[in-house]
Amino acid sequence: MIIEINYLTVALLAAVVSAVGGVLWAMGRSLLQQYGDMLRDQLAAHRTDVQRGQQSVLERLEAIDRELEDHAARITRLDVLVEKAPTHADLDKLYSRVNTTAEDVAEIKGTLKVIGESLRALMNRVAERGLP
């Protein structure tokens, strides 16, 4: 068996293989370029989302800082008010003075009642006997 190698056949086969290889290479390059573009777009979208998230977190942190400063100022004002507020000892003194005043008022009330009864008795005597 003798195999004849014809240069034209080899050249045609080489051209066909080269053409198929070129087409495959071009298709692969096109697909890789599309895939790269898709990845670049996804990465850009992800970076944008991350930046938005970071901005949102920063805004929330700034709001929390402002709120904390407001709370600190309010706590300071409350501390000043608490320092000026009466203590238990002050309230005890006040209650004892109120109780003493209440006792004095009750005593005055009783005395006025007695004075009123005495005046009524005198008026009755004056009414019964006349003025001297």
The pLDDT value given to residue 132 = 60
How many CA atoms are closer than 13 Å to the CA of 94, on its beta-carbon side? Answer: 6
The pLDDT value given to residue 46 = 96
**With a cut of 70, which residues of the chain have pLDDT below it?**
1, 131-132
Sign of CA dihedral 61, 66, 71, 72: positive
The pLDDT value given to residue 50 = 95
Q: Residue 66 is which amino acid? A: R
The pLDDT value given to residue 1 = 61
Q: Which two tokens stand for residue 70?
A: 């407001």
What are the residue boundaries of the structural domains of the chain, listed by start?
Answer: 87-132
